Chain A
Amino acid sequence: AQTVTQSQPEMSVQEAETVTLSCTYDTSESDYYLFWYKQPPSRQMILVIRQEAYKQQNATENRFSVNFQKAAKSFSLKISDSQLGDAAMYFCAYRSAGYTGANSKLTFGKGITLSVRP
């Protein structure tokens, strides 16, 4: 079974600064997908960024980018030019590729609460 670990329960960043949120995972599969979800106080789960394991190039979405290290099974999220609206809980998640049924599920880490200081 796959596991996702987010070891930092909380982080804080100054507005306009850069912050990196860490995530590691454990799997024996070679093909899979990785995601970062944002959960603001509204509770809505919002997809921030996603990465395909077979692509070496790191995904980027505006101020959000990832550092995907497949051999190290690491998938960190970098937020540049942090804004007050970035304050939220962030979840790292894993999904197998090429499977159906229960293996199609997302496996989540425990999440990290990010606060942004004005």
Chain B
Amino acid sequence: NAGVTQTPKFRILKIGQSMTLQCTQDMNHNYMYWYRQDPGMGLKLIYYSVGAGITDKGEVPNGYNVSRSTTEDFPLRLELAAPSQTSVYFCASSSTGTGFGGYTFGSGTRLTVV
């Protein structure tokens, strides 16, 4: 059981380039989330999804896009990368929107924009 798998683990982008961060879960979870972690700032929600075909913005969605065509996959797209998007990105999933279970996190992607 792999849980939540994120790829790549590291990436360096040049300003203006685009890329997609991949996230796949094999637990049949309906809820999936993308967070970014900046030093001294905790984790901030970028986008979330409550099921295939349904996505919505979190606290810091500007500069990002997502899609959810299947239950398993929730890719995060960065268009026109900017230095402010240098961060560590986490994908997470949970079985429902409520309940005590907390999240299952991926191992993160460290992105540097230069």
Q: B interface vs A, CB < 8 Å? A: 31, 33, 40-45, 48, 50, 56, 58, 88, 90, 92, 94, 96-100, 102-103, 105, 107-108, 110
Contacts and interface: CB of A to CB of B under 8 A. Distances in A.
A45 B50 CA distance: 21
Given A45-B90, A50-B102, A101 B42 contact: no
Nearest to A4: B42
Contacts of A33: 100, 102
A40 to B, nearest CB: 11
A111 B105 contact: no
B42 A99 contact: no
A50 B103 contact: no
B100 A108 contact: no
B42 A110 contact: yes
Contact of B45 (A52, A100, A105): A105
A91 interface: yes
Interface of A: 4, 9, 33, 35, 42-45, 47, 50, 52, 91, 95, 97-106, 108-111
Given A100-B50, A101-B50, A45 B105 contact: yes
17 contacts: A33-B102, A44-B105, A44-B107, A45-B90, A47-B102, A47-B103, A91-B42, A97-B99, A99-B98, A103-B97, A104-B48, A104-B97, A104-B98, A106-B43, A106-B92, A106-B102, A110-B40
A101 B94 CA distance: 12
Contacts of A101: 48, 50, 56, 97
Nearest to A96: B98
